[in-house]
Amino acid sequence: MPTRLRLLVARLRALLANRRLDEEFSEELESHITFLADEHIARGVAPPEARRLAVLRVGNPTSLRLQHRDARSVPWLQDLWQDLRFAARLIVKDRWLSAAAVAAIALGIGANTVGFTIINAAFVRGFSFDAADRLYAISWRHPAGRRTPASVADLNDWRDQARTFSGIAGYSFDLLDLSDNVAPPEQAPGSRVTANHFAVLRQQPLLGRDFVAADERRDAEPVVIIGYDIWKNRYAKAADVLGRSVRVNGRAATIVGVMPERMKFPENSELWMPLVPTDEQVARRIRSVSAFGRLADGVSAEAAVTELSGLAERIRAANPDYAQQVAGIRVETFLQRFLGGAVRPMFITVMAAVIFVLLIACANVANLMLSRSTHRAREIAVRYSMGATRARVIRQLLVESVALSAVGGAAGLGLAWIGVGAFDAAIQTSQPPYWLVFAIDYRVLAYVAGICVATGILFGLAPALHVSRHNQNDALKEGGRGPAGGRRASRFAGRLVVAELALTVVLLCGAGLMLRSFLALYATDPGFDVNGLARMRLHLQPSGYPTVESRNAFFDRLLPSLAAVPGLSHVAVTTNAPPLDGSEREIVLKGDRQDHPGADRPVVSTVAITPGYFTALGVPIPRGRDFSALDATASDRPVIISAVMAERYFPGQDPVGDRVGFAPDEREGAAVGAVDWRTIVGVSAPFLQGSSDEAFRSAVVYIPFREDTPRSASLLVRSSLPPAALMADVRRAVQAIDPDQPVLTIQTMPEVLAEERVIYRIFATLFAVLAAIALALSSVGLYAVMANAVTQRTQEIGVRMAVGAQRWQVSWLFLKRALLHLLLGLALGMPAALALARLARFRLVEVEPNDPVTMVGIIVILAAVSCAAAVLPVRKAARVDPSVALRAD
């Protein structure tokens, strides 16, 4: 191998020193010729004749020089260099055409790069852990299909018995209160994790140590590992943070480690404590641990699923409760587990859309190249007659188009950089998972490089094949405008435009539907009066408020003092302010068999509210009544249900006075207790409160807040005060009761609604931008093809006019063609668009996939833009002066 490497190096060096080596070789040849000539002269031949004979014997010096060049260097590289230089000259020469092509490619590649960056963040980059693709999330499968956490005992069984995993860890996510003498107490998302949590992830701490098995023991000194953000913001990156004593949820713990930046697994954790199991957890009565494991080397995921399913069956067989509550095991990759269900198809749709945009750009540039290469027929004919092969000509043309796409790609990368920045800034407002990082990394750069070459070949190949097929004799004879070739070219160009228009229809359809659902979402009457309504979040410290009674006492003092604030008209406390809903629970209806386990029970969401919640929102209660202060302790356990709930489960009836039961919640402690029966005392008017998957229209059961006053609550306040003043007043009222109690930032209700809709806004905007690019590209494409056709047929128009054709007839000749393209584009694009829209209905809200308004809108927009694009060339055709045209070349 070293010989070959040495040869390559020598040849590359020879390539660089081409001129010097040429000269040296000439000198060597010259000396050879002189030696030969000397011999002839010695034999008595006259010097000029001697030299002639010598040259004859040695061979043609020019040809030898070329052969020598090929022998000593890398011929194809040399040719490539030559082609590139030629291409560069051509790009500069046709600068307007090049600029148009570069602009189209830049838009196409720019959009495509943004799309790939999104895909890259979600599906390629993913989690930053070492060999993250070997990490699998493990959970029980509920009979209804959803994930159910494991108990500590389950986790231990899996860990001890599973051979297919090199390690299995678990965590339970929580909000943890952190306090010390350094800064005011704060609440941070945190996790209690098994000691091997970080080891299974293969995540080293930035400072200090990882958890060790001893930390899990009940008598162990409590320890905590803090996240980078807390270290930076709370402790100003102090080096001596290790060993400090802090209080977590009011109990002393020692900081033993700091995690690096951007490590917040699971969820967006910023604090980690060892999971010290309680008796109940060990005894399988509480299932609250999310498990994950790392596959052992060489083990397939299928093998792991098989083994875990076997272990799960054994656990189910040994525990009668389990047999009813869980149906089996769920093993998923981290991406499947942690990338939200709706986000995934959304990202894939974006990728599909940007591929369409790139294809449209390619068709456009192919047309430009085609129009130029028709003019170049003569040059190519000369190349052929000089002995170039067809492959050589095609290669030269491809080098040109790849060079062009490289320039476009560089510009596109610039556009993508801006686009990715804008997308990232927008998406950050929707609080994405910490590991989704939208950035242009080396993978994106490699992708761009690849796509540049692919694009260049894609838009260059068809024109190159077309032009190189030209009969060179025709081209030389007829001044580079062979009529047959011209017609074939324009037919091909027409097909490209039809394809562009069809793709544009699909994109317009996608964008149109997205925009429509976004607008519909905005236009939807939320059902409550958003003006003057604000939300403030409040998390009571567990140390200060350990019991329901203590929390009730806090709110008993807070609500009257808030009601006394001037300008504040209504106040209510809830677990979940609209449009979001609260935790889900399974319900049992009157006719249902009560012993029926899990599977098919309907699921509704629950929201705890204080009396006056609906009044504060401005939502009427058309049937029944609002809660009273006594309902929390009333023996008939009153609830209010939402309009959606009434319609879905009590159709055509008056549910007031009827009953609904909550199925025993297996998460809290299996099959303990029976169905929790409730009496419906009221039905609310329809308004937006629910899960975003159901467009905030879910079946909701409202329960009295004081039944089980939670630590986390939202204050819902209606007032005429500006938000800042209101915030100050509320804070004063809260801190008059408890000076240490923080109130989280105020949000007005329009802000809250906008936050919930931000994901729709981002994607609607993205699609609108993509569709606008597509529309612009395809209309420019149509314009170019029409203009080209008019130029090529000037002579024909002259003849037609000379024999009596009217201007309108000439116009119609071209307009007909533009309309044909448009109709074909619509005919091909519409069915595809409809089919895709049906696939993409996952994110459509309030809009059907075959929404007539969108469809008609697309046709009108496309027709208008196409006609505008065609109008200039058509007018030019109608204005042809026959006497000039007939004389034109």
Partner 1 sequence: MGENKSDILQGTLDLMVLKTLDAMGPMHGFGIARRIEQIAEDALQINQGTIYLCLIRLVQQGWIDAEWGTSENNRRAKFYAISKSGKKQLAEETRNWERVSGVIGRVLQLSKR
Half-sphere exposure (CA, 13 Å, Cβ side) for 458?
Answer: 21
Q: Candidates 19-27, 279-287, 807-815, 873-881 — which segment interacts with partner 1 by CB under 8 A?
A: 19-27
Q: Which of residues 56-95 bind partner 1 (CB under 8 A)?
A: 57-59, 61, 64, 67-68, 71-72
Cβ proximity to partner 1, 13 vs 477, nearer residue: 13
Residues facing residue 186 across a β-bridge: 178
Cα four-point dihedral sign 491, 497, 498, 503: positive
For residue 691, CA distances in Å to 120, 602, 704, 844 come to 28, 15, 20, 15
Number of DSSP helices (H) and strands (E) in the chain, helices first: 28, 22
Cβ proximity to partner 1, 77 vs 318, nearer residue: 77
The single residue among 29, 74, 212, 685 that binds partner 1, judged by CB under 8 A, is 29
Please tell me the distance from the alpha carbon of residue 438 to that of residue 766, in angstroms, as a whole number: 15
Cβ proximity to partner 1, 23 vs 313, nearer residue: 23
The single residue among 20, 23, 38, 856 that binds partner 1, judged by CB under 8 A, is 38
The single residue among 16, 17, 23, 34 that binds partner 1, judged by CB under 8 A, is 34
Which tokens is 413 given?
């990368």
Position 28 contacts partner 1 (CB under 8 A): yes
The single residue among 20, 23, 35, 589 that binds partner 1, judged by CB under 8 A, is 35
Read off the amino acid at residue 302. E
Position 3 contacts partner 1 (CB under 8 A): yes
Find tokens 């050589």 and name the residue.
392
Q: Candidates 10-18, 528-536, 539-547, 590-598 — which segment interacts with partner 1 by CB under 8 A?
A: 10-18
For residue 144, CA distances in Å to 141, 233, 287, 649 come to 8, 43, 17, 19
Cα four-point dihedral sign 624, 629, 633, 634: negative
Min. distance of Cβ 82 from partner 1 in angstroms? 21
Sort 849 into a burial class: Cβ within 10 Å, 0-12 / 13-18 / 19+: middle
Cβ proximity to partner 1, 41 vs 124, nearer residue: 41
In the chain, what is the greatest distance between 2 CA atoms, to the nearest angstrom?
Answer: 137
Q: Candidates 26-34, 313-321, 344-352, 525-533 — which segment interacts with partner 1 by CB under 8 A?
A: 26-34
- Residues with Cβ within 8 Å of 150's Cβ and at least 6 positions away in sequence, in order, are 138, 139, 140, 158, 170, 287, 289, 290, 291
Note whether 861 and 508 are within 8 A (CB): yes
Please tell me the distance from the alpha carbon of residue 645 to that of residue 651, in angstroms, as a whole number: 9
Min. distance of Cβ 384 from partner 1 in angstroms? 23
Which tokens is 12 given?
């590359």
Min. distance of Cβ 444 from partner 1 in angstroms? 40
Position 11 contacts partner 1 (CB under 8 A): yes
Which tokens is 812 given?
């119609």
Cβ proximity to partner 1, 16 vs 884, nearer residue: 16
Task: Count the site residues for partner 1 by CB under 8 A.
Answer: 26
The secondary structure element, H or E, covering residue 567 is: none
The single residue among 20, 32, 251, 262 that binds partner 1, judged by CB under 8 A, is 32
Min. distance of Cβ 21 from partner 1 in angstroms? 9
Strands 328-333 and 135-141: antiparallel
The secondary structure element, H or E, covering residue 472 is: helix 472-477
Min. distance of Cβ 358 from partner 1 in angstroms? 42
The single residue among 16, 20, 23, 31 that binds partner 1, judged by CB under 8 A, is 31
Cβ proximity to partner 1, 12 vs 238, nearer residue: 12
Position 23 contacts partner 1 (CB under 8 A): no
Position 7 contacts partner 1 (CB under 8 A): yes
Cβ proximity to partner 1, 69 vs 202, nearer residue: 69
Position 40 contacts partner 1 (CB under 8 A): no
Position 36 contacts partner 1 (CB under 8 A): yes
Cβ proximity to partner 1, 68 vs 316, nearer residue: 68
Which tokens is 172 given?
């339970």
Q: Candidates 51-59, 135-143, 283-291, 562-570 — which segment interacts with partner 1 by CB under 8 A?
A: 51-59
Q: Candidates 20-28, 265-273, 717-725, 763-771 — which segment interacts with partner 1 by CB under 8 A?
A: 20-28
Q: Candidates 30-38, 161-169, 583-591, 703-711 — which segment interacts with partner 1 by CB under 8 A?
A: 30-38
Sort 171 into a burial class: Cβ within 10 Å, 0-12 / 13-18 / 19+: buried
Judged by the rule CB under 8 A, the positions of this chain that interact with partner 1 are 3, 6-7, 10-11, 14, 24-25, 27-29, 31-32, 34-36, 38, 57-59, 61, 64, 67-68, 71-72
